[in-house]
Amino acid sequence: MREITLPPELEVGEGYGMVRWDVRAIWENYAGWFHHRSTSELYPVAPSHVWTDLLELAGPDAIVGRARKALGEGDAVRAISLAEIVHDTEPHHEGARHVLVAAHEQLLAASTNFWETAWLRKQIADLS
């Protein structure tokens, strides 16, 4: 997904779809849902199942602080992953919401894809 590039003669632009999304879809379809990363993949629990434990151990402000740091380093996706731990567990945490909005705005500023842009705008609207 991170490494695939099409040869110039096959490029048609990515305004509507993205090669990396298609690569992931093909992988998920053919390789299946078990990726051999963790035993927990075999059971009906999502990674978010342990988020309340992480919040209890680290505290929401520490996690949001790390998300802000990631955002400041230009890693909006990492910032979102961290801030979602707090926001999805404590939906009224303003710091998490602010990081999520800013990270989505950062991704939106770089987006040239119709679907990605629409998704990012909707996320920002839902968070605002």
List pLDDT tens digits, range 81-111: 999 999 999 999 999 999 999 999 999 999 9
Q: Which pLDDT value is given to residue 7?
A: 82
| Residue 13 φ/ψ, nearest 5 degrees | 90, 160
pTM: 0.78
Q: Which residues contact 47 (CB under 8 A, 6 or more apart)?
A: 40
Closest listed residue to residue 82, CA positions, set 116, 105, 54? 54
Domains of the chain in sequence order: 1-44 (no CATH), 46-128 (1.25.40)
> What pLDDT is recorded for position 26?
81
